């Protein structure tokens, strides 16, 4: 089975369209979306519609929850709050109803876990080996048959692996073959707001036969997304950061 793993689209339509086109060239069987379909950028309705119509298997992220008033908006920074209030106003009721029904996490084909932030809390960030250790212990306790977990939320690509008793963070490269031993925790980066220092959209192709991971990076028309931020009167910092990828 070939999977595309996407995360943190954040209503960036140009990025989502570029990734969808790239996914088509990859002949995947399923697309898994790790949440945050909306929040930040100017196309929450079209992006939600595209995820629905393309048959993505989705979970909810913290920005989706905030746009649906399922969590407290005070937990977000002021720029995110402004974008979320704008999103909550713009998002059509039918898309809200669809988003609301999405689960918090999923086990896909009894093979891997899909979470937004972490396996123990969808809003927690995994930024370090310490966070990865906590995630691995949660996987062992709650999902003992699962050795692979995909997570998003940080908007940064990452691959953590257990190695004997240590946790190793592997980064930089694009292709990995997962061993038959140990546990793995992998972040595909973000479609809509990459924070890897490299402008563009990121996602993963996972081939379960052979356990192969490929990190993919796709350029898109960033200027168009930026013009939409200005036209919608969303905070301009959201536009600026796309040029630098932070």
Rounded to 10 degrees, what is the CA torsion of 13, 26, 193, 34?
100
Q: How far is the CB of 11 from Zn ion (least distance, A)?
A: 11
If the CB atoms of residues 161 and 191 are measured against Zn ion, the closer one turns out to be 191
Q: How far is the CB of 124 from Zn ion (least distance, A)?
A: 13
Question: Which residues inside 124-143 make contact with Zn ion, applying CB under 5 A?
Answer: none
If the CB atoms of residues 36 and 196 are measured against Zn ion, the closer one turns out to be 36
Q: How far is the CB of 9 from Zn ion (least distance, A)?
A: 9
Tokens representing 221?
């028309």
Question: Which residues inside 140-199 make contact with Zn ion, applying CB under 5 A?
Answer: none
Per-residue contact track with Zn ion, 210 to 239, x per CB under 5 A?
------------------------------
User: For Zn ion, which residue has the nearest CB?
Assistant: 36
Count of C-beta atoms within a 10 Å radius of residue 18: 18
Q: How far is the CB of 8 from Zn ion (least distance, A)?
A: 4
Long-range pairs for 96-102: beta carbons < 8 A, 24 or more residues apart: 96/67, 96/68, 98/48, 98/52, 99/37, 99/38, 99/48, 99/60, 99/64, 99/67, 99/68, 100/68, 100/70, 102/35, 102/58, 102/59, 102/60, 102/64
| 36 lines the binding site for Zn ion (CB under 5 A) | yes
Q: How far is the CB of 1 from Zn ion (least distance, A)?
A: 26
If the CB atoms of residues 147 and 156 are measured against Zn ion, the closer one turns out to be 156
Per-residue contact track with Zn ion, 6 to 35, x per CB under 5 A?
--x---------------------------
With contacts defined by CB under 5 A, how many residues of the chain interact with Zn ion?
Answer: 2
Q: How far is the CB of 106 from Zn ion (least distance, A)?
A: 17
Long-range pairs for 173-180: beta carbons < 8 A, 24 or more residues apart: 173/215, 174/214, 174/215, 174/216, 175/212, 175/213, 175/214, 175/215, 176/212, 176/213, 177/210, 177/211, 177/212, 177/213, 178/148, 178/211, 178/212, 178/213, 179/211, 180/211
Stretch that binds Zn ion, among 4-12, 69-77, 133-141, 177-185 (CB under 5 A): 4-12
Beta bridge partners of 170: 159
Residues that bind Zn ion (CB under 5 A): 8, 36
């Amino acid at each position: 089975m070939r999977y595309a793993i996407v995360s943190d689209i954040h209503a960036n339509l140009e990025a989502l369209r570029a990734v969808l086109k790239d996914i088509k060239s990859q002949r995947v069987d399923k697309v898994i979306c790790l949440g945050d379909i909306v929040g930040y950028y100017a196309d929450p309705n079209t992006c939600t519609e595209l995820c629905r119509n393309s048959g993505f298997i989705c979970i909810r992220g913290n920005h989706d929850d905030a746009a649906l008033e399922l969590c407290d908006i005070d937990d977000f920074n002021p720029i995110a709050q402004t974008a979320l209030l704008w999103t909550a106003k713009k998002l059509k009721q039918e898309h809200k109803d669809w988003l609301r029904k999405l689960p918090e996490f999923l086990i896909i084909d009894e093979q891997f876990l899909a979470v937004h932030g972490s396996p123990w809390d969808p809003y927690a960030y995994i930024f370090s080996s310490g966070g990865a250790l906590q995630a691995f212990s949660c996987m062992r306790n709650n999902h003992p048959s699962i050795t692979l977990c995909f997570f998003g939320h940080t908007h940064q690509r990452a691959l953590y692996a257990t190695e004997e008793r240590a946790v190793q963070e592997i980064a930089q490269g694009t292709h990995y073959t997962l061993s038959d031993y140990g546990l793995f925790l992998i972040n595909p980066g973000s479609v809509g707001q990459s924070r890897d220092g490299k402008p563009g959209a990121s996602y993963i192709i996972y081939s379960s036969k052979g356990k192969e991971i490929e990190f993919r990076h796709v350029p898109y028309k960033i200027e168009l997304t930026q013009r939409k931020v200005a036209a919608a009167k969303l905070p301009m910092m959201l536009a600026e950061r796309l040029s630098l990828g932070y």
